[in-house]
Structure 1
C-alpha cells in the first residue's frame, strides 16, 4: 500500500507541475499553449498498456490523462517547450517504441518508452522513460541509446517550471544539450543559447 500511496503522490505532483507550466504558457507563450492536445481517455491509455504488455509510469500516465502531448504539426518550434523537446502523444510514443523495440529492448530492457522528441512527425533524438523505475534516459536514432539517469518525469517538469521562473537552462538528459535558456519568440516558448540565438525575434525570459 505504501508504494501505491507514493506513486499517487508522485503522479499528483507531476499533474500539478504540468498544470503550472500550462498556465505559464497560456500567460506568456500562447502559440505554445495552442499546441497542447487534450488529455487521453482512460480507454486509450488502457489500450496502449495492453498493446505494450506493461503499465505506464504513473507520473506520465497521469499527465497524459490531462494533456496528451502536442499536436503533430507543431514542429515549427512552438511545441518544443521542454528544452527544445516536446512531450509525445501516447499513441505516437507507442508507435515509435514498436518500431525500435527490436533494436533497443536488449539494451534498455522491456519497460522503456519514448517520452519526448525534437520533432513529433520525424523524431531523431529525445528522451525515454523506464516505466518500471521512472528514470529518464536519452534517445538518438543514429547513436547508441543512453542509459537511464536519476531524473524522473516529475523531476523534469519541476526543472522546466523552475527554469521558466528563474531563467535557467539545459535540462534534458540528452547528449550535446548545453547553454540553452528559455525565451520568447513570436508568442512561443523557445530554448536558445543566448550567446548565439538561432531564432529571429527571440529574447530570454530573464
Structure 2
C-alpha cells in the first residue's frame, strides 16, 4: 500500500519533486561554496592555533581545565586513577568525595590561542557524608561505574541510554545528564 499525497501523488513522486526543487534553489556554479572555502582557508592561514594548553606560553594550566575528547583507553585510565584516589581518601578516614570543576557561566573563559572555551579554576566537592550531596555523590559513583563498563566493552550509548540503565537511582534524565557532564569535566 503506497501513501498518497498532494492530489494522488505517491511518496516517490514527492521525493523527486523535493529533489528537483532543491536543485533549482542551489547556485548552479557553486559560487557560495567557493566563498565559504576561501574564507575557511583565510581563517586557517591568519591565526594558527595551538593544539593544547601546554603549547601556550603565559597560561597557567592549573588555573583552567581543558575538557578534551579522549579515546576510551584514556577515559578508562583516568577513571581508574580517580577511583584509586577516592579509595585512598576513604582508607585515610576522609570519606568518599569527588572534586570537579564548576560548570556555571561564571567559571567559563575563552582562550583565544586555542579558539576554545575552557573552565576556570573554581571547583566544588561532593561528599557522601553530607546529606545535601549524598544522592549526587551516589549518582556520580554509578555514572563512573557505567562509563567504565562501557569503555571496557567499547560500547557507545546516548545520554538517554545511560539514564535507562538505572532509572530507579537517576529518577529523572536531567539528573543523570548533569552528573555525566560533571564526570566529563572531572576526568577531562
TM-score normalised according to structure 2 size: 0.21
- Larger Rg over CA atoms: 2
TM-score norm. by structure 1 comes to 0.20
